[in-house]
Amino acid sequence: MRPPMFHAVTPPPENPSRDDIIWLAGPRLLGLIFNWSLLGVLTIQVYIYHINFPKDRRFLKFLGELYFVYILDWVQTCSATYDAFQWFVYGWGNIPVLYGLFTTFLNVPILSSIVAAIVQIFFGWRIWALSESRITCAVIVFLSLLQLGGGGAVGYYIYNDASEVARSEGLVRAVGIRLGGSAVVDSVIAIFMTLFLVRSRGQGLSYTDSVLTRLIRLTIETGTVTAISAIVDLVFFLKAHNGLHQVSGVILCKMYSNTLLVLFNNRLMRTNETSVHEVDLAFRGASSRQHHHSDVEWNSRPTVDLDSVELRDFVEKGMKEEGGTDS
C-alpha cells in the first residue's frame, strides 16, 4: 500500500545515521505505548466516576464523562495510532515517511490544548469558588485561552509543513506560547492553592482541614506534574533535535484528562476496610445516598457545592466553630 501524501516543505536529512533513526522512531513508539496505557487508566477512572456519581450536574458530567473529554482522548489516541501505522507499517523503511507528520497537527497541539484548557478553566472555577478571587480566575482563564490559541497556531504550522525537522520561527514561537502558557497557568494554579492552604492552616480551620487540605494538596500535585511535563516537552522540542519531545507531547493530553477524572473521583475516601465515604467539594449541592456493592458499603455524607456560596459558607462555618471552641 502506498503511504498517503503529506505536505512537507522542509526536506528530511539525505543520509540519516542509524542513531538518528533510533532516536526518532524509539520515542514515538514509547509515546504511543504510554498514550494507550494512560487511556486505559482514564477508562477506569471514567467507569469509577460513572457508577459512583450518577447525580452530578449535567455540565460536569459532560466534561468528566464520555461526552467530551473522554471522546477527545479517544480521537487523540486513534489519530496518534494512525500516524504510528504510517511510520512503522505502511511506510516501513521509507525515510521520508518516518520524518513526516501525518495527523500530528491534530493529535498533539490542537486536541491536547483543548483538553488542557478545559482542565485549567475548571481549576480556575474552583479557585474562584474557594477564594472569591476574580482576578486569579481571570488570569487563569486568559492564560489557558492563550495556550489554546498557541496550540491552534502550532497545528497550522505543522499542517503546512509536516516535517519532523521543521523549525520555522513561527512554529517555535507558537510552541513556546502553547507549552510555556500551559506551564505558567499550571504553576499559577499550584502556587495559589499552596498559598490558600498555608493561609487556611494559619487560621486554624480544623473543621475544614481534613477536607480542604485533601482537595488543595491534590490540586497542587496535579498542577505541578502537568507544568513539569509541559516544560520538559518544550525543552526537548527546542534543544533535542530528535523525537524525544514526542514522548511527553503525545501523552500531555492524557495527563490533563486523568487529572480531571482523579479530581472528580477523589471524593471517595476509604475510612476502613468495609466503608467508603464520599467527600464532595465541587460537584453538586447537599445530598445523601447509600450504595451497596457486594461486600463493600458505600456511604455518603452531606456534600458541599464548590461553584457557589455554599463552599464559602462551609469555610466560614469552620471558622466560627473553631472560634467557639477556642472561647
236, part of any domain:
yes
Environment class of 293 (CB within 10 Å of its CB; exposed 0-12, middle 13-18, buried 19+) = exposed
pTM, to two decimals: 0.81
Domain annotation covers residue 151? yes
* Cβ 229 vs Cβ 255: under 8 Å: yes
**Chain-centroid distance, C-alpha 117:** 9
Q: Which of 46-55, 219-228, 315-324 has the lowest mean pLDDT?
A: 315-324
Digit-coded pLDDT (tens) for 270-285: 434 434 444 444 444 3
CATH of the domain at 228: 1.20.1070
Full domain range(s) for residue 34:
18-266
Per the prediction, the chain carries an average pLDDT of 79
Domain assignment of residue 321, yes or no: no
Q: Distance between CA 128 and CA 149 in Å, rounded? A: 23
The answer to whether position 257 is within a domain reads yes
pLDDT (average), residues 237-255: 90
Question: Using CA of residue 276, residue 120, residue 251, residue 2, what is the dihedral sign?
Answer: positive
Would you state the pLDDT for residue 182? 95
**In a domain? residue 138:** yes
pLDDT at 97: 92
The average pLDDT across 5-24 equals 87
Does a structural domain hold residue 211?
yes
CA-nearest of 206, 255, 241 to 16 is 241
Domain count, the chain: 1
pLDDT at 66 over 80: no
In a domain, 272, yes or no: no
Cα–Cα distance, 205 to 216 (Å, whole number)? 14
Give the residue with greater pLDDT, 40 vs 265.
40
Q: Is residue 7 part of a domain?
A: no
pLDDT tens across 90-116, in order?
Answer: 999 899 999 999 999 999 999 999 999
Q: Which pLDDT band, with edges at 50, 70 and 90, does 202 fall under?
A: low
Q: What is the pLDDT of residue 324?
A: 53
pLDDT in tens, 162-173: 999 999 999 999
More confident residue, 296 or 255: 255
